[in-house]
Amino acid sequence: MKTPSRLLACLAGVANAVLAGQAAAGAATPEPREIPVPFIAAPLGRLPGPAELPSRPEMPDVLQRSDGTRVTSPADWPARRQEILRTLEYYAVGQAPPAPGNVRGQELARLALRDGAVTYRRVRLSFGPGGKLGLEIGIFTPAGNGPFPAVISPSGTPPGATPLPRLPNGPTQGKGTNVLFVVGGGEPPAPGAPAARGVRLDPETIAATNPALARGYAYVVFNYNDCGEDTTLREADGSWSFRRTRFFPAYPGYDWGLLRAWAWGVSRIVDHLVTDPVIDRAALIITGVSRTGKSAMVAAAFDDRLALGAPAVTGGGGVGAYRFAGPRRSETLDVMLTKYPNWFSPRLHPFRGQRERLPFDQHWFLAACAPRAFLALEGDADVISLPEAVRQSIAGARPAFALLGATDRLGVHYAPHGHTFNDDDWAALLDFADWHLRAKPPTRRFDHFPSEAELDAALQRPAGPTRR
């Protein structure tokens, strides 16, 4: 048996040999270069690119049509909303396939929790071409006959469901390195392996502690990765590896990014919930945190069956306007396209360094929710928050809500925490929902923005507890 010193010497020799081999091969190693993502000709047609658009530092008007005329009547809003959604699909999140129209739900398990105070059902949804796509969801309902308003949350694999295989994250995903740069032609990713996907959810714990259930709401959970895997791995031809996961192979002619795919999955859940007699189909809520908060915002904009969108700490690509992101505590457009290019439409990438040429901004997602309710949940100590950008988005979307007599249905709430979601957020979300979905008078304001001094002081506070 080798002594420790002899072992170290042996390892050093191996390392030197490896380094020498690398040096000898260095001249032949290609430099990292940007491999283009293959173009997908989605059926939306062509809209102008950055070179054809004016530079506008101001927020694009949600009430100004593409022909320059203004919407002045509520009767004209539905057509303007469709114009907004087409613009957002083309430039921001990519075009998704239409609703499949064949969603079927099969109950796989039913549990009585907390001595019957809460019922848990695990349901498998099937849909898409030949009914071959699937998504498992978990539905918790409080005691009583209902129907109950429901909070949909991409919190993790439903209790009792089998975690699906998953590709690993890209090696530089979320780390500030341009993931479009690869060495040579790239390498195909390794096969996926079974792994825990998101938070492991315990049904008894949820039944005992979930604030929505305690206040008479149903709680619906799913894993967003079961709609499309969040990875920046690339194939040898430069295409995204996520496009061979989950929903994507069934719809090869669409250029949707992951945020749109996760939101499309929410709509398939809604397809089922509106047929469930225990659920109030007129009181469906979508929430999410960080990246799933962005997809919750997208889902609320595109699916008008969602009565309330309540995304939390969405950061860049979320509620905050790209034009006003930075310079402090921010994820700018360029940062997001560098770290997470797989989340967005491929047509957003040419606007890198040209955000003022965008023909939209993020407030258009909020405006598309009008006259339904929308609440932005923010943390005053969130180091990637965009306070001024959020303020500008709320202000920019407000004319649409005002046109429809729904000004109080657009709100914001800053909780005392960082990049997380806790009991204060739950309380604000449910208070806002009680106000607009249950006609209960509000007990707090939903229009307060902290000052710069308050935001600076918040960063000095110790971190508090987290609840998802």
Domain CATH for 349: 3.40.50.1820
pLDDT at 16: 38
Does a structural domain hold residue 72?
yes
Residue 446: C-alpha distances to residues 239, 370, 428, 435, 455 (Å): 43, 16, 9, 11, 17
- pLDDT tens, 377-425? 999 999 888 899 999 999 999 999 999 999 999 999 999 999 999 999 9
**Residue 227 belongs to some domain of the structure:** no
Cα–Cα distance measured from residue 41 to residue 352, given in angstroms and rounded to the nearest whole number: 21
Model confidence at 7, pLDDT cuts 50, 70, 90, reads very low
Domain assignment of residue 66, yes or no: yes
Residue 46 has pLDDT above 70, yes or no: yes
User: What 3-state class would DSSP assign to 386?
Assistant: coil
Specify the pLDDT at position 187. Answer: 53
pLDDT band at 12 (very low <50, low <70, confident <90, very high): very low
Residue 261 lies in a domain: yes
Q: Is residue 157 part of a domain?
A: no
Residue 125's nearest CA partner among 240, 340, 276 is 276
Structure tokens given for 11: 């390892």
Does the residue 186 lie in any domain? Answer: no
pTM: 0.90
3-class secondary structure, 157: coil
**Domain-embedded: residue 163:** no
Question: Which residue segment(s) compose the domain that 331 sits in?
Answer: 60-150+203-219+253-458
The answer to whether the beta carbons of residues 83 and 60 sit under 8 Å apart is no
User: Which pLDDT band, with edges at 50, 70 and 90, does 329 fall under?
Assistant: low
150 with 306: CB under 8 angstroms? no
Structure tokens at 112: 């009585």
- Specify if 259 maps to a domain: yes
pLDDT digits over 82-119, tens only?
Answer: 999 999 999 999 999 999 999 999 999 999 999 999 99
Cis bond before residue 371 (omega within 30° of 0): yes
| Lookup result for tokens 């860049």 | 316
